[in-house]
Structure 1
Amino acid sequence: MPASPSTALLLVNLGTPEAPTARAVRRYLAEFLHDRRVVQLTRWLWCPLLHFAILPLRGPKVARKYAQIWMEGGSPLAVYTQRLAAAVQQRLPQWHVAHAMRYGRPAIAEVLDAFRREGVRRVVVLPLYPQYSTTTTASVADALAKAGAGLQVRMIERYDTDPAWVAAVADSIRAHRAAHGAGKHLLFSFHGLPQRLADRGDPYPQQCEASARAIAAGLGLADGEWSLSYQSRFGRERWLQPATLEALDALAARGVDTVDAVCPGFAVDCLETLEEVAMMLAARYAARGGTLRYIPCLNDALAHADALAALAARAAETDDA
């Protein structure tokens, strides 16, 4: 796929409310939690529970959490995703580069319609999920199947061990530790997933482990100097283990006074990294007498944009081979 004005790259992130208000959060969560990839309960059971119990209760609580991290230009996820797309555009000047959200705006269908009006014919789609999951990447594929008519669409499904991405994450950790000193332990915290999905063959946990091992190897860490955990558990069923909260409690019980935490399953910072890890879990660790230091996501770092642009270029070359 040679670079030309008819070629586009679409970066897709999960999504975010448009404002840190209960109403905006309810609207966003309603779309997100209606996706059958995310919640697989029967609709007659799930929809009443969602609209009459979960959204009224969670909307105000989640809105208060968003208010704690909101930036001048919007939520961190929206701001950094937009900046990242702009940085990638600079590296692919002959392409159209845009971003979309799987839930919320700009919607995937809206951006694809804009591409068509601009004369785009071929689109490389890069979901900003380094590790593939049926709950995230496959949901983007669902949206593309509905909205991609008339376009030649190529989706990159994973980049969990891409060398340039691994090096960018490792370098960001190295730089943070050079500036602030190295903690006694490095914790890789990934978003969780119900265990039943992994049992059915979702490759996500294996890819999270592969990412963590590759990054740790890039840093020259021995096995005992790092560990992996899963955060953001929702509902009562069993999720991937170990849970980040429990992993931190275990580290505190061992007397590890300083822990560095990084979240390489997230391309940019968001509620789960800034409020859950950097604020809530850090406060919990402080109450146990230790210090939890959060290392930011790659966000719009130059190395991040370089890695994603290279992924898109290779995907384009593969299509032309």
Structure 2
Amino acid sequence: MKSRDRSVDVLKGIGIIVVIMGHVDLSAVGGAFISYLYSFNVALFFIVAGYLWKDKPGQGFFAFAVVKARQIYLPYVVLFCVSLLYGHLIVRYVFGEYVIPFDFVDSVKALLFSSEWLNSVPTFNFALWFLPIFFISTLVFWVLQRVRDMRIYVPLIVIIALSALPFQSMLPGRPILAINVLPVALAFMGFGFLLRRWVPVGRIPWLALVGLFGVSIILAWQFPGNVAGVGTLWYFPGAVASFIVYLRIARDIESSSFLAYVGEYSLLMFGLHSLVAKSYLFTGTTRLFDEWASGLMGYVLNVTYVVIGTFIIVKVYRWVRERVADARRGRYASVPLGPPISGADA
């Protein structure tokens, strides 16, 4: 079995930190910095999905959908339930905040519709909107990957990218399942697939990378947007440029065990970070670091708290899960499967 691409894990680790940087109190940082974060923070994960895409020989659509449901949608359901419990128990009784009463119908609608409906119940985890649309995008992308002829495939991806603007104009804001993100997601996944095929990122000169970084900064400044509202087609080259720059950086620092771990468990980090962020003001961290708890240093402290806090929770979860798995293996191994087979039986 081929080992994981550690540099991509490091890249996803960087991506998770960038997502967290955009999901804490941003009052201490300028609008330009916020625009830069949102110019590629979510797009990066769609590009990575296309970059790592591999078809499994003989696997049909249904089998593929089942695998992806287990990998993406089932974790979404679990994380949604955890978030709902967090809101109704931790936020209400531990933090002492008012939380709207539990409503079964609203909770089911929030689970099924995702997007803006996540804000209608106390999940305190709006970031979960990404997982259902990522699941849907992955299924649709499987269909697109049946196109093998690059003379058809490349124009098709370009057409999908061009369709993003009118599609999002018809479905502005946050519709059901954030479905207005679909053409953007498919385009980025296609770009990622083509980058892996045609662009030797490891051989791009650093001077060219500096130029790409500059381009991404300028595009984010001049044409701010996000995956749910790209605003202009310039959003696509800006995000792709950022992906290339950070992938190259990830390859140069792929020895980072911390970033690689964060990237390997990026789904858990992504699904839990908003809950950790909600706890920031209730843990005494701002009192402990009183002189640092405001302004830019306060922002850095907040980001650090969420990154480290989420990392620790994931570490503990993985440790408990491994211990439980070891215990189960030991229990099953200790149960005799039947009498030993004698020579006569053989």
TM-score in terms of structure 1 length: 0.24
Larger radius of gyration: 2
TM-score in terms of structure 2 length: 0.22
